[in-house]
Amino acid sequence: MSGRVPLCLGSGGFLLTDHVNGIEEIFKPGELLDTYITLEEFIDKAKWYLKNPLIRNRIAVRGQMYVMEHMNNVVFAKRILRLCESTKETV
């Protein structure tokens, strides 16, 4: 998964992206973003979301809230410190 996913979501954008294995473990499709596998599925979903702006905007807001809560610098710094502490204990 590319770094554009949290960048797009964190800025409040709606993201319809190609499916990557494991993306659903972090970002629930249909709730925080949406995915497609085939070109036909992309076209169908793009048309559907363009006709349903309230749902599209609701997903964008949820995605932004998730990224702001779970993928910010404080969260990353705490993870790094925990890794450093656990590494220090094994050395």
pLDDT at 82: 81
Q: What is the pLDDT of residue 39?
A: 98
Q: Domain limits of the chain? A: 4-90
Sequential DSSP letters for 2-55: -THHHHHHHTT---EEE--TTHHHHS-BTTTBEEESSHHHHHHHHHHHHH-HHH
pLDDT along the chain (91 residues), means of 10: 86 95 91 97 98 98 95 76 78 59
Look at the pTM and tell me if it is higher than 0.85: no
Name the helix (H) or strand (E) containing 60: helix 53-70
Residue 91: its pLDDT value, please? 59
